Amino acid sequence: MNQGLIPSRYAKALFEFASEKGADTRIYELMHTLESSFASETSMQQVVANPFIPAADKEKLLASAAGADKKDEVFERFMRLLADNNRLDAARDIALAYMKLYRSEHRIYLVTVTSAAPMGAAEEDRLKSLIERHLGGATMEYHHRVDPDLIGGFTVTINNEKLDASVADELKQLRLKLLSN
């Protein structure tokens, strides 16, 4: 089977089950925290994939990394399902697939603004309102990053679409134009 297919099937099953139980938003929060834990602690994937570590310990690690507590029965049952099917090593990919599915179902756009320098509050608020208008009232998860390599200007990424209004891109376009002549 395709590695991308397995996580998306598990994520879809989890989403449907969590929606039935009214826990889809809570599971989204847990999956978001779990993915952040994987991103910040690079050795976590190696631990979860290690066949010599008992599944029960891996379940505890994943629950702790997600910030789950005793009330999160849907999450606990899902981790048990993954353990029973020897799929705990796919937890990060499943978390990513779940978040993507949840965002799609709830019309939530992932928006990242990258600027060459920190933006002032007024500029950032103006840019956010422009993006919200462009999205037609849909919800967005907004993130701002600073990348001095842009030299000036900014980029806006909405899901997989990118608007590049940076000086670095302008210079790149100019260089390509000069090379083609």
SS (H, E, C) 83-121: HHCCCHHHHHHHHHHHHHHHHHHCCEEEEEEEECCCCCH
The residues near 145 (Cβ < 8 Å, ≥ 6 apart) are 112, 113, 114, 115
Q: List all residues 6 or more positions away from 72 whose beta carbon is below 8 Å from its beta carbon.
A: 23, 26, 30, 63
More confident site: 138 or 51: 51
Q: What percent of the chain has pLDDT over 90?
A: 73
pLDDT mean across residues, the chain: 92
Task: Lowest mean pLDDT of 115-119, 151-155, 167-171, name the range.
Answer: 167-171
Local confidence band at 17 (pLDDT 50, 70, 90 cut-offs): very high
CB contact at 8 A, 177 and 170: no
Position 1 confidence tier, pLDDT thresholds 50, 70, 90: very low
Contact 133, 146 (CB under 8 A): no
For the chain, the farthest-separated pair of C-alpha atoms sits apart, in whole angstroms, at 66
pLDDT-derived band at 160, boundaries 50, 70, 90:
confident
- Minimum mean pLDDT range among 16-25, 66-75, 82-91, 125-134: 125-134
Of 87-96, 137-146, 170-179, where does the model show the most confidence?
A: 87-96
What pTM, to 2 d.p., does this model score? 0.82
Do 108 and 139 contact (CB within 8 A), yes or no? Answer: yes
pLDDT band at 60 (very low <50, low <70, confident <90, very high): very high
pLDDT of residue 107: 93
pLDDT of residue 3: 58
- Segment 133-159 mean pLDDT: 89
**Predicted local confidence at residue 99, as pLDDT:** 96
* Confidence category of residue 6, pLDDT binned at 50, 70, 90: very high
